Amino acid sequence: MTSLTLADILAARKRIAGIATLDTPLPPSPCLSAIAGDDVLLKLEIGQATGAFKLRGAANAVLSLPESTKGVTCCSTGNHGRAVAYAARARGFRAVICMSSLVPEAKLAGIRALGAEARIIGKSQDEAQVESRHLAEEEGFHEISPFDDLHVIAGQGTIGLELLEQRPDLETVLIPLSGGGLAGGIAFALKTIKPSIRVVGITMEHGAAMHASLAAGKPVAVTEMASLADSLGGGIGLENRHSFALCRDFLDEVILVSEEEIYRAMQMHYHEDRLVCEGASAVGAAALLSGRLGRHPGPTATLITGRNVDMQVFTDIVSGRAVQLGDTTLKGHIHAA
């Protein structure tokens, strides 16, 4: 059993109020509502100062550290690194962010602009993780896991409190899933307050480590692949302590979506909702558009987790042009209302 409590999440909400934006909007999506046959609402985390929800968890972790902290480090697919850099700057701590070469340039620039040191190591999150662990051991930096840290998980869980305050009648919540800190924290809060709610993790079909681990009954490694949902890449750690058990115990199911479905969902969010969001944010819409979630899920919220998308890729997608993903080419597709 996890030691996470609702009190931890309530404490996180108080602690992060000065740094993260709380009570982010939850507007309806008329297009997705028509497809689902019930209200579909968008939880807009793209308004965070760093462009993604990860500021909630990172702020809670950094603000919980003693003043004597030498520095902080983490490995990241980009958004956690930017959030740690932002929170560290607010406290005057040094920050070193370790990333793989799969991280898009836009995310790298965002981190460096905050005054943090960004190190690119290898081609996978796991290699970046080794470097941040090394820094922690050699230089006495405090390492903040992007998903397997109770302060981070409690920070992300604050979104769950807000969802039920904003719409107590919610019946389904769609959560983009990678390491599971977001889904674990939110699902724990939602199920503790409203046990009847359906909580669905959504992720890309290739290289989804949490999905493979849940199927295997224990953390397993997967090969990382290029994805439009680049923020959902990376393993969950074979020594996972918290997020695996939370996802296993509190998620009702996990739905996988294809790259084509993510492409169409990003296009739809732009043309119909007027949203600039990254691929990881669009997986909930992809599950609805593809029919994988099914119709009539009841009042539903999907998390728009971040907006830190490479602008060239984004303009290609919303213009219906083909996109190169690693060795494969995603065919163009024109959005039709």
Ligand X SMILES: *Cc1c(COP(=O)(O)O)cnc(C)c1O
- Rounded to whole angstroms, the maximal C-alpha distance in the chain is 56
Number of H helices, E strands in the chain: 13, 11
For 264, the 3-state DSSP assignment is: helix
In angstroms, the CA 147 to CA 152 distance is 6
CB of 176 to ligand X, least distance (A): 4
Closest CB to ligand X among residues 72, 251: 251
User: Does 306 help bind ligand X (rule: CB under 6 A)?
Assistant: yes
Q: How many residues bind ligand X (CB under 6 A)?
A: 20
User: Does 182 help bind ligand X (rule: CB under 6 A)?
Assistant: yes
Among 86, 147, 250, 314, binds ligand X (CB under 6 A): 147
User: Does 219 help bind ligand X (rule: CB under 6 A)?
Assistant: no
In angstroms, the CA 244 to CA 252 distance is 14
CB of 307 to ligand X, least distance (A): 8
In angstroms, the CA 299 to CA 290 distance is 18
CB of 247 to ligand X, least distance (A): 8
User: Does 305 help bind ligand X (rule: CB under 6 A)?
Assistant: yes
Give me the residue label for tokens 């997020």. Answer: 243
Contacting ligand X within 223-242 (CB under 6 A): 231-232
CB of 296 to ligand X, least distance (A): 26
For 56, the 3-state DSSP assignment is: helix
User: Does 265 help bind ligand X (rule: CB under 6 A)?
Assistant: no
Select from 96-104, 180-188, 251-259, 263-271 the region that touches ligand X (CB under 6 A). 180-188
Give me the residue label for tokens 């509190």. Answer: 250
In angstroms, the CA 266 to CA 248 distance is 28
Select from 120-128, 178-186, 259-267, 290-298 the region that touches ligand X (CB under 6 A). 178-186
Closest CB to ligand X among residues 66, 222: 222
User: Does 81 help bind ligand X (rule: CB under 6 A)?
Assistant: no
In angstroms, the CA 85 to CA 96 distance is 8
From residue 250, alpha-carbon distances to 111, 195, 196, 243, 310 in Å are 32, 10, 11, 10, 33
Return residues touching ligand X (CB under 6 A): 52, 54, 79, 146-147, 176-183, 231-232, 278, 280-281, 305-306
